[in-house]
Structures are given as C-alpha cells and as structure tokens.
Structure 1
Amino acid sequence: MGSGGAPVVNRLTFDDDLFLRSERVLGIPVTNQSVWRFDRALDPAELDELARRLSAGRLGRRVVRGAFPGARARWVPSETVPPVAVRSEPVESVLSWADAEAAKPLDPVRGPGWRLACAPTEAGGSVLSLVVSHVVGDGGVHVNAVVEAVRGISAGRPPETPVRWWDDVRDAAGQIRRAGRGVLRAVRAPKGSPLPPGTQTSRTREPVGDDTPALPPFAVLDCDAEAWDAAAAARGGSANTLFIAVLTEILLASGRVSPDAPIKVSLPVSTRGEQDDRSNATTGVSLAVTPADGRVTDLAAIRAASKQAFAAAADETPARLLEPLVQLLPDAVVARTAKNSPVPLCLCSNLGELPREFAAPTGFPATSVMMRSLTGGTSPALLRARGGGLTAWLTRTGGTLTLAMLALDPDHVPDTRTLHTHTENTLATWNIPNRAWEKP
C-alpha cells in the first residue's frame, strides 16, 4: 500500500482490462491526446529529453498476460523510448495533423504505449502532440506523467518484480473469491436509476448506414475565461456547471434531445489518491438537467445536482460490484456484452486548471492546450448503433478555457460545420467571446 492507503498496483484493474479488451477483442482502440499550441519553435533536443523522462516515469509500462487462467495481466517496465516524430514542413491544419497522429497505432503489450510528435505551423509557431493508449493511462496519468517529467521525477513506473507461476495461481484464486463476493453483494444492492422518470438518455439499436471508418465531427474553441466565469456567476453557477449547460444547449439546438424532458449528463470523476500508480482511476456519475423554455440557465440547480451526484460517487452499484466477475469472463462473452453498451448522451469532462508544468512541457508556456479521448474504428453506422450525442473536454490555461467537442450523432450533427454553428450560437447567448482553432 502507498501512503494514504492508495494501492500500488502491479496487476491490471478492471478499467485497464476493459480498454485492453476493447482494443484486442473488438478492434476499437481508445487513446488520450493532448495538443499544445506555441507561438514559437520548439527545440528538438528538449523534446528528446522530455521523451526520455516520460519513458522513465509512469508511461514506461507495458502489459504481460497472466500464465494461469483467471489471473489478471500485470504491468512490467517498458524499456522502449519512442523517438519524437518531428515534422519539418509546416502543417496547414493543426487538427488534421492531430487526427493523423492520434490514428497511428500504439501497442500497450509490446510497447510503446505512447507517442510524442511536433510540427511547425504556418504562423511561425509550433504544435506538440502526446498520444497515450487508454490502457496505459487515463487523463490523470496523462497530466501527472508530463508534470513529473518536467520536474525530473521518475514516478509511477511499475516495479521489476519477478512473478512465478504460483503468483498467478494465487491471483486467480483471489479474483474468483472477489467475483463471488461481488455477485452476492450485487444481488442485495439497491436497484434502479437515481434519475427522474422520463429522463432522456442514449439507447442502442441495430447499425444503420455507412460502416466505413470515419472520424466524427470535432471542434476546438478557445474561450475567454473571465467572461466564462462571469456568465457562470451571474446565474448562480461555476465554470463546471456552465460547461454542462453549454453542452446540453448544443444538444437541444441540434434537435438530438427534446426540451420537454430532463436530459442525462455524465461526468467523469477521478478516484486517484496520492502516490496512486493505477493506470486508470476514474469512475462516473450522472445527473439530470431540466431545460426551461428551450434553454438551460438555472446553474444553481445544476450545481446542487452535481454535488449530490459527486457525493454518491463512492456508492457501490451492482455494475461496480460485478467488475471482478466481468474481468474473469472469456473474451467472446465480453465482446457480446460490449456490443449492447451505449455511449453517453452528454459527457462533460472538465479537466480544470492545468498545472503550470503541464502547460509548459519544455519550459515555455503554451498559448492553449486541448485534451481529448479518441475511439478508433468508428463509423456512422457504429455511432448510430451506440446512440451517443456529444462528448466534450474543458481545460483552463491562464486566461483561456479550451473547449474540445466530439459529435457522436451523425443524423443530428452530420459535420463539423454544423457542430461549429451550434456551439458558436450557444456561446453567443452566454456572451462568451471565443476563437475557433480552425473554421470548417
């Protein structure tokens, strides 16, 4: 155990295993990407040193499968230092370049599970991309790895502990015991949703339409942080509650949801403690947002609902209690189950004020930073089948709030231009000045 009771984990957690199976069994890799924009050129030698330090820290890990049925895979150190991909020619489109970097394959089993790339821009600046397999780490790992690298700290690297066959037997037996206890407790756990009846949410259906892999519409806008905070305070809210309101109003504008019923909003919550070396330590909570006259302006109500949802984040739900059992199931069973899993209707991931070191990974501060998660192998048919709506990430760098949005409903938001139009109109109603990274 680490200080404060946080586990020092060598075996894959349920979430680690979930992302690994998504990639290995379903052919759907999930990655996290940060993109920094700078108004100056970056030194290749400094980038090489950043890559070396990242490899020596919590990103320097790879998966080794258990040698006994039922034993969880484990983390071991990865000795690979991926070279920094430095482009010489200026990029015409920062987002197209970022998309191309995110699409390049990573390998959390053989390594490396991450990649660093840099390119000059036509305006004379630079862009930097860090892509990390979600198996290797969630957003917390992503941020911590960069901060620790900048500080010269080698933390979170898995121990070089030899594992013998009976260690795997012992782990398998422990998993079976945990699964049994989880099933018994899940049977007794309260059932039902805490959301009001009639709350609009996502639903799965049969795939319809084009199944050719394609990137969903994506948009990034830099917003004036002072204006954002003022708009939130004027309605009794916070930056986070305004984020929720803006996203639900974009959904309303698209016609994806009705103004006549509450809307389910999903919020990721970090469970990471100090000296917590888990690759993934995130759970999620949900709340219902109720429109009034086609808008969402009661930020005080959203704030109260958010606090109530966050307070319940540690509650044991049947799904969480069954996680040890699911981790024991064969790939074929997990694949069938995953096909019936919808994606969120509205997912709001607020990453907050980025640490100073993260915003300046080579010592010079970025003008803005975008963070996002990407799912490979998606197509319009798959998006329709999963029933999603809108997923967004919010980061703060100095006086700038960067809003990154991914549209997952090809019928109501068919292209990036539509996404931009709804977003810019919504921000205008809140009097928030903004500047798109790129106009469609």
Structure 2
Amino acid sequence: MPVGEDRRPAPDNVVPYADQALLLALRGAGQEAVMQIIWLYEHPVDLDGLRRFYQNYGHGLLGRLIERSALPFGRHRWVAAPGPQTSLEIAEQPIPRDELFDWADEQVELPLDPEHGPSWRMAIQPLTDGTTAVGMVVSHTVVDGGGAVATTIAAVNGTGRDLDYPPRRSRTRSRAVREDLRQLRSDLPEIGRTLVKAVKVATRRRDELTRPSTPVSAPADGGDEIVKTAFAVAMLDIDKWDSRAKSLGGNHFSLVAGFAGKLAENLGRTRASDGAVTLMIPVSERDNPADTGGNVVTIANVTFDPAPVASDLTSARAAIKQGLVTARQTPDEMVELLPLIPFLPKRAMGRIADMAFQFTADVPVSCSNLGDIPDDLLRLDGTVAERFYFRGIDRNLTRGALEKRNGLMTVASMRLGGKVILPVMSYLPGADNSRAHLREMITQTLGEFELSSVIE
C-alpha cells in the first residue's frame, strides 16, 4: 500500500483553533513565541546523564510539529516528530558568569519553527567559574508552560510517551484534501453559529475594529529595529514569602500579583486614566492528562489599584478571585470567534489580537503562576541544579511593534527547590530599558513588601 494511504483509524490530530490562531497571528506579525529554561549547575555535571535526558526529551507534547491543511481555509494537524529534532550543542570554550544571559539571548535567536522544526533545542555551556549552564528553548506554539514542565519531568524520569500521531508528510495530496474537507463539513455547524456571534460582535465593537492603534510615542526612526526586552530573575525563600503574604492578608499568588502591580506602578506601566494596573492571568485548563492542546489556558483580566498592595493584599486578592470567576463563567467573546480563524486574512488577525489583548485601550501586564513544581525538574542529569531560570519571550519584536502595544511587561512565578522564582521582562517606550534598571526596580519593589532576594 502506498505511503500515506494507510486505512487504519488515525488518532485525532486536528490542531485546536487556539493553537492555529496563535501560529497564524505570529506568522502574520513576523514573530515567534518561545519559552526558555536554564539550569545552572554549581557542581560538576554528569554529561552522560544530560545526554540521557536529551534522548528522552522530545516525546509527548514536544514530540510533534504542525502540518498545514491541504486547504487554504482548513484545519491544521499535529504530526509526529519524536525525539531529538536537532543536535545537542556542547560548547567547549567557557564564558564568564556575567555573560550568562547574553548566551541565553543568543540561544533564543537560534532557528526554531513549530512547522518545519526543530520545535525545541538544548545546549550546554560551561562557565569560567566552574559552573555549567544547560539551556532549553521550546516553541510556545507547540506547548504551554504547564505542558513544558510536565514533559521535562517525564524526560527526567524516563516516563515520556508518544501520542501516536502520523508522521510528517505521510498523507498524499488527495487523501489530505479529502480528510480536510470532511473535517470542514463536521466544523460547519460551529462555524455557522460563530458567524452569527461575529456579526453581533462586529456591530457592537465597530469603533474598536475600525479605530487605528495609537502608540504611546511613535518611533521617529528605527521602527523596524529588533529590540531585546530587559530580563531579570528574583529568587526568594518560600517560607519568608508565604509568611509575608499571610501577614498582608493574602496568599502566594495574590502576593505575586501584588508584586507585579506595584512593580508596574514603579516602572510607569499603569492606566493613565486612574492609575490602575491590569493583569492578564493565564489559568491552565489542562485538567485531563490526555488533553493534547498546545496552549490550554483561559485568560483572566484582573484590574486593581496597586497603591495599597505593599501593606494590604485584600483588595488585590478579591480582584483576582472575581477575575477568575468571570473568566470561567463568561467566555471572552473574542475567543468565541476562534472557529473563524482559518478564514481570516492576516490584517484581520492582527486587529483581533489587538482587541483580545487590549493593546488599543490598556497597558496590560502578563502575570502567570506555575505553582508548586516537583524538585524532579531540577534533576536534569540525575543531580540537583543549584539555580533555575525560565521565561517566555516573543522573538523578532520590533521597536515599532512594541510601541504599538505600549511596550510589555511579564511577571511569572514558580515554587521550586524551596524557592519562589520570579522572572520579569519589561520594555516601556521612552524609558530606561536596561537590565540594570530593571534589577534596581525589582529590588526597590520587593523592599516595599519588606522582602529581599537574590536577583540574577
């Protein structure tokens, strides 16, 4: 039987609308969303252990790529790409410790592609002080933060399993057209219902759809310049963090949110009309281990006054609770339009992205919480890494794109190895966007909460 004509039942490998929308929106903007994880070993690493981990990685949610539909308006599909998708990079020449994040930036810029591969890559870099950095960069289109953590722990423990997707390019053209047409027919009822919603949304939000986005200060020149956002990581003792949260009338995440809000205030990223801060909080919906979506999250929008949070978290905690309830009970109408994504031109994709993320009317701060993570995540080579950093980052961000959305700011949190880890990224048009300034502002903000930390 010819390759691609196997008649055995295939698993459901249709890419969810949200993941297809993310791919198309990023492609349309010329950008790529990636995640980076860095382990820092201050003792000699076991290279054989790292090679075992590398061979174990790239299965499950990371053992796949996206294959475009044979139809211009069809649904894309997941296809198998198990195991290492590119060579393991082991540097021979050590670099100084203070160049670690420069090396990390260079790793982020290496080729990565959720369609053509690789969708992830790994590198090992010795430092001149005897420590060793291990870096992983992963396409955010293929998997979200929670999925990446679960996949990494499975690779550490050697328990990863493939999803039994068909190989890349395994369908003939005729079979692909037939299957994608069948999928389209099955989607038609949902598409019809979505069209009715779209008309209502377009009528109600006509002004937003037609109003041009106005940047804070349009760049006089250099709008096409690729910009690196400032990045720093704070690490605090869990017990001290939890004790402070309790004393302020909050919990772990309300303190994270309060810190994000106060840092936004200190950096000048608050709403001009009333000084409030708006947090976009991704909430994982990956309750079922069998859920194979790439980004399985609901976004809760939470707004509060950051002025009192360093002395009282109750208002921020109440705002978060209400925002989470609203996100689950009242679906975002822009998200409900996702079934129309395959039919939309690039220009419309950009406008919907602006509206969904409030780039036209607000200055949101992304604030995600990965919660308590098993220490297995630190045992990449079988031993415990002394330091751990992570971040999500958009590649190929131009100055013009950043200023169109009034800059950006992200704060994330993870509880791991007895530490609260807080990575922060920031860019504010016309401001001091150096890493040194960001570290200074993080120190100042934590000080307002009567907290101190190691800041890398």
Shift of 1:339: 6.4
Secondary structure of the corresponding residue to residue 57 of structure 2: helix
Aligned residues: 420
Using a 3 Å threshold, how does the CA distance of structure 1 residues 9 and 231 change in structure 2: closer, same or farther?
A: farther
Using a 3 Å threshold, how does the CA distance of structure 1 residues 260 and 322 change in structure 2: closer, same or farther?
A: closer
Shift of 1:401: 1.5
For 2:286, give the aligned amino acid.
R
Query: Aligned residue for 1:24?
Result: 27
Q: TM-score, normalised by structure 1?
A: 0.87
Query: Aligned residue for 2:287?
Result: 273
Quick check: 2:402–2:408 contact (8 Å CA) kept in 1? no
Secondary structure of the corresponding residue to residue 318 of structure 1: coil
Distance 1:409 1:401 in 2: 26
Quick check: 1:175–1:328 contact (8 Å CA) kept in 2? no
Using a 3 Å threshold, how does the CA distance of structure 1 residues 18 and 204 change in structure 2: closer, same or farther?
A: farther
1:412 pairs, out of 431, 440, 444, with 431
Distance 1:402 1:317 in 2: 30
Quick check: 2:281–2:300 contact (8 Å CA) kept in 1? yes
Query: Aligned residue for 1:77?
Result: 80
2:442 pairs, out of 417, 423, 426, with 423
Using a 3 Å threshold, how does the CA distance of structure 1 residues 282 and 339 change in structure 2: closer, same or farther?
A: closer
Shift of 1:302: 1.7
1:284 pairs, out of 284, 290, 299, with 299
Q: Deviations over 1:172-230 (max 9, x none)?
A: 223333222123356679x999xxxxxxxx97567424321120111112222222111
Structure 1: tracts of 5 or more residues without a match: 1-7, 194-201
Matches within 5 A, 1:301-316: 301-314=315-328, 315-316=330-331
Distance 1:298 1:177 in 2: 49
Query: Aligned residue for 1:346?
Result: 365
Q: Deviations over 1:79-125 (max 9, x none)?
A: 56222111122232211111111111112222221001111223322
Shift of 1:139: 0.6
Distance 2:191 2:218 in 1: 33
Query: Aligned residue for 2:343?
Result: 328
Distance 2:385 2:256 in 1: 22
For 1:56, give the aligned amino acid.
H
Query: Aligned residue for 1:197?
Result: none
Structure 2: tracts of 5 or more residues without a match: 1-10, 206-212
Tell me if 1:112 matches 2:118.
yes
Shift of 1:250: 1.4
Matches within 5 A, 1:181-330: 181-185=193-197, 204=215, 207-209=218-220, 210-211=222-223, 212-257=225-270, 260-274=274-288, 275-292=290-307, 296-314=310-328, 315-330=330-345
For 1:24, give the aligned amino acid.
R
Quick check: 2:32–2:394 contact (8 Å CA) kept in 1? yes
Query: Aligned residue for 2:127?
Result: 121
Distance 2:82 2:265 in 1: 49
Secondary structure of the corresponding residue to residue 442 of structure 2: helix
1:97 pairs, out of 87, 91, 103, with 103
Shift of 1:13: 1.6
Distance 1:216 1:228 in 2: 27
Using a 3 Å threshold, how does the CA distance of structure 1 residues 155 and 390 change in structure 2: closer, same or farther?
A: same
Give 4+ residue runs of structure 1 displaced > 3 Å after superposition.
Answer: 185-189, 202-207, 258-261, 330-333, 335-344
Query: Aligned residue for 1:5?
Result: none
Using a 3 Å threshold, how does the CA distance of structure 1 residues 208 and 80 change in structure 2: closer, same or farther?
A: same
Q: Deviations over 1:47-85 (max 9, x none)?
A: 222122112332111121111232211011015622211
Quick check: 1:69–1:172 contact (8 Å CA) kept in 2? no
Quick check: 2:112–2:120 contact (8 Å CA) kept in 1? yes
Secondary structure of the corresponding residue to residue 62 of structure 2: coil
Distance 1:89 1:139 in 2: 31
Distance 2:101 2:255 in 1: 25
Secondary structure of the corresponding residue to residue 334 of structure 2: helix
For 2:325, give the aligned amino acid.
A
Using a 3 Å threshold, how does the CA distance of structure 1 residues 117 and 192 change in structure 2: closer, same or farther?
A: farther
Query: Aligned residue for 1:3?
Result: none
Shift of 1:236: 0.8
Query: Aligned residue for 1:62?
Result: 65
Shift of 1:375: 0.6
